[in-house]
A = this chain, B = another copy of it.
Amino acid sequence: MNIYVIGVGLIGGSIALDAKDLNPDAKIFGIDSNEKHLQEAKKLGVIDEAATFEDLSKADFVIVSVPVDTAIVVLPTVLDLISDSAIVFDVGSTKAPICEAVAGHPKRRNFIATHPIAGTEFSGPSAAIRGLFQGKTNIICEVEKTTFKLQEKALDLFKNIGMRIRYMDPKSHDKHIAYVSHLSHISSFMLGKTVINKEKDEQDIFDMAGSGFESTVRLAKSSPAMWTPIFKQNKKQVIKTLEEYISNLSKFKELMLNDDYDAIYHEMESVNRIKEILNGMNAKK
């Protein structure tokens, strides 16, 4: 079995590691525009060999794990090059633009649109880790547009690396994910910005910041190369969530200006049920 990973970073590399463990006889090929990443991935054992697009005709699996703006360009080309029996999937955090990019392609049925909700704030081949997907959710869009046999092949891989499968239409995916992922990243980046701008003397941050600050700004370590195109492709939904977030923050500020601390107490108390929501999340993992 030949597995091609286009983009040997955190997600592509982690799938490669798990796929190799599951199929020791499989050969993992890496394709990446960054030659240094390719060499690093080979050295780390994330891939067996570097390859090029011309080799894709030999692929059984193609995993497209590149920033979402690159994905919409690369995917039609990949579909042009593969054999009839190959299955291609992407892992991007936006689904509508990606599904649109391949909608009319003659090999559309060889593609399955996926979003594994997994990751860390790190990037590149050295960020790839075994078991990243264990207990995580993989959201699959437009499953009915993929050949049944190839669906099965992809789903087997996802299940074997430990993922729960959820089906969703691309627009619903993009709408919900703006709330539970894209907005978190912006809130974290802007929190980091606010503090860095103020605290020119970083020593003050070092000394006074605790684990709470660390937790809320963790996502501000994320890759701008990955996130800029996500915000661009999901512009409408992201702006909507951002407006609601800003409005809630402004209302909180108004309550403080009006010394309405009873209302502030109740605001916080009603959000406290995020505890049960998060516990429910973890219970399922």
Contact A191 B195 (CB under 8 A): no
Query: A195: which B residues are within 8 A, CB to CB?
Result: 179-180, 183
- Greatest chain B CB density within 10 A among A259, A264, A277 is at A277
One of B119, B179, B185, B217 near A278 (C-beta < 8 A): B217
Contact B215 A216 (CB under 8 A): yes
Report the Cα distance A211→B257, complex, angstroms. Answer: 34
One of B219, B229, B273, B277 near A216 (C-beta < 8 A): B219
- How many identical subunits does the complex contain? 2
Contact of A196 with B273 at beta-carbon distance under 8 Å, contacts A213-B184, A228-B265 already known: yes
Report the Cα distance A211→B132, complex, angstroms. Answer: 11
**Mask: chain A, 212-235; 1 = CB below 8 Å from B; 0 = not:** 111111111110110111011001
Contact B249 A284 (CB under 8 A): no
Query: A268: which B residues are within 8 A, CB to CB?
Result: 189, 220, 222, 224, 227-228
Contact A176 B253 (CB under 8 A): no
Query: A220: which B residues are within 8 A, CB to CB?
Result: 268, 271-272, 274
A244 within 8 A of B: yes
Subset of 28 A-B contacts with CB under 8 Å: A117-B209, A118-B210, A136-B210, A177-B208, A180-B204, A181-B213, A183-B191, A184-B212, A184-B213, A187-B187, A187-B191, A187-B249, A190-B248, A192-B274, A196-B277, A205-B277, A205-B281, A206-B277, A206-B281, A221-B278, A227-B268, A228-B264, A229-B261, A235-B259, A239-B257, A243-B253, A246-B249, A246-B253
